[in-house]
């Protein structure tokens, strides 16, 4: 991410153009997606460095794609509390938040028209 120009990882899209998450092909696919999310979270929590949420979300989405689990989206949310502005990124797949606590994500207002670009 350090080598990318500011703003090069996002694009604006109308909400109706957002890709819909594919439904899991089997319960094994859903469990595999959760397992990958758990692995990314553990690596971020206990690894040599502590990546920001956007880096974690990009890694999770990339690993899901490599495991042929399609339809995940990196979502961005914002909040303003006690004069402090904060932003957060997470992955949503099949209407499920992966790699993050839904209660934490719920504290942010999702920005509907910004998506993080994948690799081209």
Q: Quick: pLDDT tens for 3-41.
A: 666 555 555 544 433 344 444 567 799 999 999 999 999
Biggest distance spanned by C-alpha atoms of the chain:
45
CA 92/CA 96 separation, integer angstroms? 5
The closest of 16, 39, 21 to 92, measured between CA atoms, is 21
Q: Which of 9-18, 56-65, 107-116 has the highest mean pLDDT?
A: 56-65
Q: Give the least confident one: 15-24, 56-65, 86-95.
A: 15-24
């Amino acid at each position: 991410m350090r080598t990318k120009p500011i703003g090069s990882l996002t694009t604006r899209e109308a909400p109706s153009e957002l890709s819909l998450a594919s439904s899991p092909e089997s319960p094994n696919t859903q469990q595999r997606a959760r397992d990958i999310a758990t692995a990314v979270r553990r690596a971020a929590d206990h690894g040599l460095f502590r990546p920001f949420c956007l880096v974690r979300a990009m890694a999770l989405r990339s690993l899901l794609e490599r495991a042929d689990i399609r339809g995940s989206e990196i979502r961005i949310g914002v909040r303003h509390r006690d004069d402090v502005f904060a932003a957060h990124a997470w992955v949503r797949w099949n209407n499920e938040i992966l790699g993050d606590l839904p209660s934490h994500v719920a504290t942010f207002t999702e920005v509907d028209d910004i998506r993080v670009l994948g690799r081209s």
